[in-house]
Amino acid sequence: MDSQEFLCRQNLNKRWQAAAKILFNAELGPLEEYKSWLCETNDPVLRRRSSISNKPVSYVDSNFNGISKYMSFDEIDFNRKFSPLSINDVKDMDSIVSAVQERIFYAGNIILGNSQCVYESTNINDSFYMLNCAKLGDSKYIAHCTLGRLCEGCFGCNGIGESKLCLKCHETYRDVRSFELWRSENCSDCYYSYNLSSCSDCMYSFNMQNKRFAIGNLVLPAEKYAQIKKSLLLQMAQELQKNKRIYSLVELAAKCKTGAAAFSHLKFDAACPHTDLAPIQSAFEQASKVILGKPIGKLGDYTQWLEHNCRSKAYGKSAISGSPVIIVDYSSFFEIPRNRLVKFHEALKIGEIMRISEADATRITLENAHEFLGNIAFFPTEYEQGTNQNTIECATTASSSNCYRSAPCIFSKYCAYCFWPRTSEHLFGCSMIFDSSFCMNSYYSLKLRRCLEMDSCRDCSDSLYCHNLESSSDSMFCFNSKNLRNAIGNAQLPREKYSSIKSSILAQLAEELQSKKSLKWDIYSIGSQQA
C-alpha cells in the first residue's frame, strides 16, 4: 500500500467515525471491520487480474467472459499504432473477430476527470477519496458504494443522488443523515424507512409525505419521539459494535405479518391510461434502418437478444389488490420480499391511513419492531414523476414517452428493453446510456449516435463493437483508443475502403438478425475467442 492509498483509507476511516457518531451517537470502530456488511446489498465491484501486469483491476460489469484479456485504465497506451488488417481478415465477422484478438483488452480501474485518491474502484469521474466504489461521479469521501452522483460521506449505499452522510441507503435523492432509508427524496434523519418524501426524523415509517417525528407512521410530540429514538439508536449501536452488522430493512420486512382484514375497508382506484405499442415498433424499425441499413422486423421477435446484457426484471403482484407489479434488478429492489409489494397509489393511501398505536410506539425495540409493522411495511417499486405518456411496463419513469419494458426512463423517448436511458431517444437493449440516440445493445456510455454493441464509450457515432473508445466516428472493433475515424481494429483506413467493409458487415449482421433473431457475437464475447 503506497502513501496515497494509506492517506485515502485514513481519511475515509475518519469520515466513517464521524458519520457513525452523527447517526448513532456512538463510536463503532474501524471502517474495515464493517466492509463485508457494507457490501451486502450493493452491486459487486468485480476484481480481475491485469493480463499485462497481473495487478488487480476493478470492473463494473459481470458480462465479460472469464477468459478475456484485461488491463487497468492507467496501463493503456493511447498512442499505440496498429497495422491495418489484411483483405482476408475483413471478409466477414468471424474473420475480423479472429484477427483483432491481440488488440482486445477490456479496461477496468476507469478513473476519469479531476479525480484523486480513488482505490479499488472503477467508472468513477471527478471524485475524491473513494474506496471500493463503482459508477459514481462528482462525489467525495465514499466507501463501498455503487451507482450515484453528487454525494458526500456515504457508506454501503446503492443508487444515491445528491445525498450526504447516508449509511446503507438505497435509491436516495437529496437525503442526509439517514440509515437504511430506501426509495426516498428530500429527507433527513430517517432510519429503517421506505418511500418517504420531504420527511425528517422518522423511524420505521413507510409511504409518507411531509411528516416529522414519526415512528411506525405515527407522528409524536418532539420530546416523546426523541426519547424513543435515543433508546433505539443505543440498541442499534450496541448491535453493530457486537456483530459488525445489523439487519437490513428488507430483512426486517420479511419477518412482518399482515392481517388481511386491515385493508378490507379501503378502496384503491387507479387510472388505466391508454397505451399503444405501435409508435415504439415504428421507432424500432426506424432505428434498425438507421443503424443496420434496413428495418429488421417486429420488436417482439428480438426480446431475448435485446435483454440478454441488460438488468433483469421480474413481475410480482400487489399484496393488497393483486395487480401486477414490476421489479427491476436495481438499487437492491430484488431483495424486497415479494409478498410486501404494492402499487404506488396503494402505498400512498396506506401511508396516509395506517399507523401503529402510541402504545406500540413506546414498546418498539430493535428486536421486536417487525411485530408492529405488518400493516404499514409495504413497498412500491414503481413510480412516476413529471408528465409521462405511453410508457408500457416501465417500472419508473420521469418525463418520458413511448417507452417499453425499460426503467428508470429519465427524460427519454422511444426506448425499449433498456436500463436507465437518460435524455436519450431511439434506444433498444441498452444499459446506462445517457445523452444518446439511435443505438442498440450498448452499455455504460455517453453521447453515442447510431451505434451498435458499444461499451464504456463516449462521444462516438456510426460505430459498432467498440470498448472504451472516445471522440471517434465510423469505427469498428476498436478498443482503448481516442480520436479515430474510418478505423477497424484501431487502424485507420481510407474512407472508401472502410465504407465498403462496413457496408458488407452491416449486411451480414442484418441478415443474421432477421434469420436468427440474435447475433453470434456481442461486445463482451468478441474478446473471449469463442462465441
Do 163 and 151 meet the contact criterion of CB atoms below 8 Å apart?
yes
pLDDT in tens, 344-366: 999 999 999 999 999 999 999 99
Helices (H) then strands (E): counts for the chain: 10, 40
**What is the band of 3 on the pLDDT scale with cuts at 50, 70, 90?**
confident
The backbone torsions φ and ψ at residue 344, rounded to the nearest 5 degrees and listed phi first, read: -65, -45
Quickly state the pLDDT bin for 531 (edges 50, 70, 90): very low
Tell me 484's DSSP state. Answer: -
Q: What is the mean pLDDT of residues 52-68?
A: 86
What mean pLDDT comes out for the span 245-257? 97
Q: What is the pLDDT of residue 122?
A: 95
Residue 506 DSSP label: H
pLDDT band for position 274 (50/70/90)?
confident
Check whether the bond before 273 is cis (ω within 30° of 0): no
Residue-wise pLDDT for 382-428, tens only, equals 999 999 999 999 999 999 999 999 999 999 999 999 999 999 999 99
- Residue 285 C-alpha from the chain's centroid: 28
- Crossing angle, helix 495-516 and helix 278-292, to 10 degrees? 140
**127 vs 506: CA distance, rounded Å:** 39
pLDDT band at 260 (very low <50, low <70, confident <90, very high): low
Residues 426-480: tens digit of each pLDDT: 999 999 999 999 999 999 999 999 999 999 999 999 999 999 999 999 999 999 9
Burial 315-335 (b: 16+ CB within 10 A, else e): ebebbbbeeebbbbebbbbbb
Q: How far apart are CA 371 and CA 488, in angstroms?
A: 63
Q: Grade residue 267 by pLDDT with cuts at 50, 70 and 90.
A: confident
Cell 443505438 belongs to 439
What are the DSSP calls for 328-397, one per residue? ESSTTGGGS-GGGEE-HHHHHHHHHH----HHHHHH--TTTGGGG-TTT--EE--EEES--EEEES-SEE
Residue with cell 492509498: 5
Confidence check: pLDDT of 109 > 80: yes
- 28 close to 156: Cβ distance less than 8 angstroms: no
Reply yes or no on whether the pLDDT at 66 is more than 80: no
Tell me how far apart the alpha carbons of residues 95 and 93 are, in angstroms, rounded to a whole number: 5
167-212 pLDDT, tens digit per residue, is: 999 999 999 999 999 999 999 999 999 999 999 999 999 999 999 9
Local confidence band at 263 (pLDDT 50, 70, 90 cut-offs): confident
Q: Are 192 and 252 in contact (CB under 8 A)?
A: yes
Return the biggest CA–CA distance within the chain: 82
- 3-state DSSP assignment of residue 61: coil
Distances (CA, A) of 71 to 6, 77, 146, 245, 522: 24, 11, 21, 34, 19
**Residues in contact with 273: Cβ distance below 8 Å, sequence separation at least 6, in sequence order:** 390
pTM: 0.92
Structure-block grid coordinates of residue 195: 418511500
Cell of 36: 463485508
* pLDDT value of residue 142: 99
Q: Which of 293, 365, 347 shows the shortest CA–CA distance to 514?
A: 293
pLDDT value of residue 94: 95
- The secondary structure element, H or E, covering residue 280 is helix 278-292
Please determine, for residue 259, whether its predicted confidence score (pLDDT) is greater than 90: no
**What percent of the chain clears pLDDT 70, i.e. is strictly above it?**
98
- pLDDT per residue over 223-236, tens digit each? 999 999 999 999 99
Give the length of the chain: 531
